[in-house]
Amino acid sequence: MKAVILAGGRGKRLRPLTDEIPKPLIEVGGKPIIVWQIEWLRSYGIHEFVVCAGYLKERIINSLGNGSKLGVKIGYVVEEEPLGTGGAIKNAEVFLKNEEGFFVINGDIITTLNPLELAKLDSKYVGVIALVPLPSPYGIVEVDDDFKVKSFREKPLLRDYWINAGVYYFRSKIFKYLPVKGDVEKSVFPMLAELGLLKAVKYEEVFWRSVDTPKDVEEVSKLLVEKS
């Protein structure tokens, strides 16, 4: 089974860190984001990877090589211009079209969720997306009926709301729905949902964080150290 890591973006919100370092190589908790991802997927028996590289692609290729130092196999698909998430996956079709199915991972998330749950996909679906509870960006103040303050909760998970975790499993028939350029989130997913071809799996008690800003690097690093 193969996994695609979408690692072609410029990471503009992570500037100035990404002025000279591609986002997947930003270190969080002592390791590059993409190394966390490969080690996580490897722990679930996934040993073959396709990295979709674009911005500062040479740095990524030189850092990871063929994957042998991480105990996996890595191939690369290069974007000469930004293709979006959908276009990046479409660009990797030559490596994936003969697979029954494959995983796709956004290059900016760190998680412990079990991806194999996504692969238990009924044949009527083309894809399945992982969902996690929305992490509140703010602390929550809890009050009683008389508005007496009862407690404070620091950035809790809002379990009534679910967000796209950036982890997907697709059957190979996905390629007929993918654009040459464009994002799966904006065009492909809404289309598949309308056709009844998209499923979701909810993950509650898992670690999940997205690394989008310099502040995220600091906060996620702290959480990973506490977790280890």
Neighbours of 68 (CB within 10 A): 10
What are the two backbone dihedrals, phi and then psi, of residue 137, each rounded to the nearest 5 degrees?
-80, -5
The encoded tokens of residue 44 equal 């679930």
The average pLDDT across 118-140 equals 86
Distance CA 1, CA 3 (A): 7
pLDDT band at 166 (very low <50, low <70, confident <90, very high): very high
Sequence spans of domains, the chain: 2-220
Using an 8 Å Cβ cutoff, are 18 and 33 in contact?
no
Distance CA 88, CA 85 (A): 5
Report the relative pairing of strands 73-78 and 48-53 from DSSP bridges: parallel
What are the tens digits of pLDDT across the range 90-114? 999 998 988 899 999 999 999 999 9
* Catalytic residue check, 12: no
The average pLDDT across 71-85 equals 91
Residue 83's pLDDT is 86
Distance CA 83, CA 184 (A): 11
Q: Specify the pTM.
A: 0.88
pLDDT band at 149 (very low <50, low <70, confident <90, very high): confident
User: What SS3 string covers 177-217?
Assistant: CCCCCCCHHHHHHHHHHHHCCEEEEECCCCCEEECCCHHHH
Report the SS3 class of residue 113.
Answer: coil
If you average pLDDT over every residue of the chain, what do you get? 89
pLDDT band at 228 (very low <50, low <70, confident <90, very high): low
Report the relative pairing of strands 140-143 and 149-153 from DSSP bridges: antiparallel
Q: Which CATH class is domain 2-220?
A: alpha beta
Q: Which residue's entry shows tokens 């991806």? A: 115
Distance CA 209, CA 216 (A): 9
Which of 97, 155, 173, 202 is catalytic? The answer is: 155
